[in-house]
Amino acid sequence: MIGKKTIYLDYAAATPLDREVLVAMQPYFTDYFYNPSATYAAAREVHAALEAARASIAHWLGARGSEITLTAGGTEANNLAIHGVMRQYPEANIVVSAIEHESVLVPAGRYDCRQVNVTSDGLIDLEDLARKIDEQTVMVSVMYANNEIGTVQPVREVTRIIAAKKATRRAEEAVSRQPSAVSPPTTSGQRTASSEQRPASPLPLIFHSDACQAANYLDMHVARLGVDMLTLNGGKLYGPKQSGALYVKAGVRLQPLIDGGGQERGLRSGTENVAAAIGCATALDKAQTLRHEETRRLQALQQQFLELLEQKIPQAVINGSRRHRLPNNIHLTMPGYDNERLLIQLDELGIQAAAGSACSASDQEPSHVLRALGLSEAEARASLRFTMGRATTADMIKNTVSKLTQLIVS
C-alpha cells in the first residue's frame, strides 16, 4: 500500500487517476448510467457527452471525431490497428521496429513481419527501415516513444520514407497502366491481352504509431506527425485504466475485432463505456495543457538524477538516447547486480521502480528492448527503470539515489 514514505517511480507502468478526471467521470457511473444508443432524452444526453469526449480527443490530435475509435486501452487499439489492416491482406507483410511494445510485436508476429534494427541509443535505423519496406509491405508500425528506455523516435523521418515509397509505387503503377506502343490488331468482339489483364491496384502503405507513452509530453497532432493511425492509452495519462483510443485517418479501412451491434462505426461493437471515455478525454486535455510546463519541470529532475548518479554511482550506465528521450525516464544498467534483487531491496526501502515493461513482468526472458540495443543477457538482467510523474519532487530524487547508493556500496 502506498504510504507517506513511499516514493513511486513507475509512472510508465501506471499513473494514478487525477482527481479532476474522477470528478468528471463520477456522474456517469450513477446518475447518467443510460445506454447512449437508447432513444429517450436522458440517453441522448449521455450520447452527447460521449461524442463531446470523442471530439475533445480529436481536438488534441488535430483530427475529426469520426476518426476516433474509443477502445479499452492501448493494447486493444494496437491490436485493432494491426489485425484490422493485415487480415485484409494476408499475403502482404508488416514492418515494425525491434523495440515495439508486446501489443504490437505479438499481433504483428502472426503475419509476415519484418523487424527493423535500432541503434545502440535505441533509435530506429532509418536505412534499415527503408530496406525492409518492399512492394508487399502494407503496414509500418513504429512507436512514438518507448515504454522502457524512453527514446523518442524520429516519426517525421519515418513518414518521409513512407511517403517516398508511396510515390515510387504510384509511379510504377502509372507506367504499368500505360498502353503498349504497338497494339496487336483486333477483330470485332475480340479483346487484347492487355485489356484482359489489367494490373491490380497497388497495396496501401499505412503508418501506425503507438503513442501510449508520448501523450503527456509530446505533440500529438497527427497531420504534423504524418501518421495514418495513432494509439492512445488513458491509463498512462492519469486517466482510468482500460480506456484509450485509436485514431484512424479517413479513408483507412479496418476489419473489426468485435462484431455485434455496430458501435464505434462498426469497428468495436458493444455498449460504450461512457465514464471511461470521458475520463480518457479529460485526462488527455489536462496532459496536453500541462505538457510544456511539466516537461520543463521533469527535465530538471531528470538532469538532477543523472548528475547524482555520476557523482555517487559512476559505474551506472544510462540506456537509450539522452537527447531524444522522454523527460520522465531514467533507465540504467548496474553492472554485476541483479535487478530483481535490487528492486526488492528498493521496495523494502520505500522506493517503487521497475526492471522494464510491466506488461511483460512475468516473462523470465531478458528485455527484448535491451537486447535490441546490443546489451548482453547479463546486462539486461542488471537494468532498472525509474519513471517520474506529477507528484515527483527533487527531494524524492535525492532520496532515491541515496538509497540506491546504499545498496550498491554495502
Quote the pLDDT of residue 163.
Answer: 96
Closest CA to 388 of 153, 150, 154: 150
Residue 175, pLDDT score = 81
Q: Which CATH class is domain 7-15+291-409?
A: alpha beta
- pLDDT: is 69 or 265 the higher one? 69
- Average pLDDT on 40-64 reads 97
Residue 100: per-residue pLDDT? 98
Query: Which CATH architecture group holds 19-175+200-286?
Result: 3-Layer(aba) Sandwich (3.40)
pLDDT at 398 over 50: yes
What mean pLDDT comes out for the span 101-108? 97
The whole-chain average pLDDT of the chain stands at 92
For residue 409, the model assigns a pLDDT of 76
**CB within 8 Å of 80: residues ≥ 6 apart:** 69, 71, 246, 254, 256, 257, 267, 268
What is the average per-residue pLDDT within 152-176? 91
State residue 358 phi and psi, 5-degree precision: -65, -25
**pLDDT of the residue at 178:** 77
For residue 170, the model assigns a pLDDT of 85
Q: What is the 3-state secondary structure (H, E, C) of the chain?
A: CCCCCCEECECCCCCCCCHHHHHHHHHHCCCCCCCCCCCCHHHHHHHHHHHHHHHHHHHHHCCCHHHEEEECCHHHHHHHHHHHHHCCCCCCEEEEECCCCHHHHHHHCCCEEEEECECCCCCECHHHHHHHCCCCEEEEECCCECCCCCEECCHHHHHHHHHHHHHHHHHHHHHHHCCCCCCCCCCCCCCCHHHHCCCCCCCCCEEEEECCCCCCCCCCCHHHHCCCEEEEEHHHCCCCCCCEEEEECCCCCCCCCECCCCCHHHCECCCCCHHHHHHHHHHHHHHHHHHHHHHHHHHHHHHHHHHHHHHHCCCCEECCCCCCECCCEEEEECCCCCHHHHHHHHHHCCEECECCCHHHCCCCCCCHHHHHCCCCHHHHCCEEEEECCCCCCHHHHHHHHHHHHHHHHC
* 120-124, 212-216, 258-262: range with lowest mean pLDDT: 258-262
Q: Distance between CA atoms of 215 and 81, rounded to whole angstroms?
A: 18
Give span(s): CATH 3.40.640.10, the chain.
19-175+200-286
Is the pLDDT at 193 greater than 50, yes or no? no
| pLDDT per position as a tens digit, 318-344 | 999 999 999 999 999 999 999 999 999
Given a cut of 80, whether residue 184 has pLDDT beyond it is no
Domain span(s) for CATH 3.90.1150.10 in the chain: 7-15+291-409
Q: How many CA atoms lie within 13 A of 89 on its CB side?
A: 23
pLDDT digits (tens, 9 = 90+) for 47-56: 999 999 999 9
Catalytic residues: 359
With a cut of 80, say whether residue 104 has pLDDT above it.
yes
C-alpha cell, 355: 526492471
Is pLDDT at 249 greater than 90 in this prediction?
Answer: yes
pLDDT over 60 (residue 1): no
Region 139-151 average pLDDT? 98
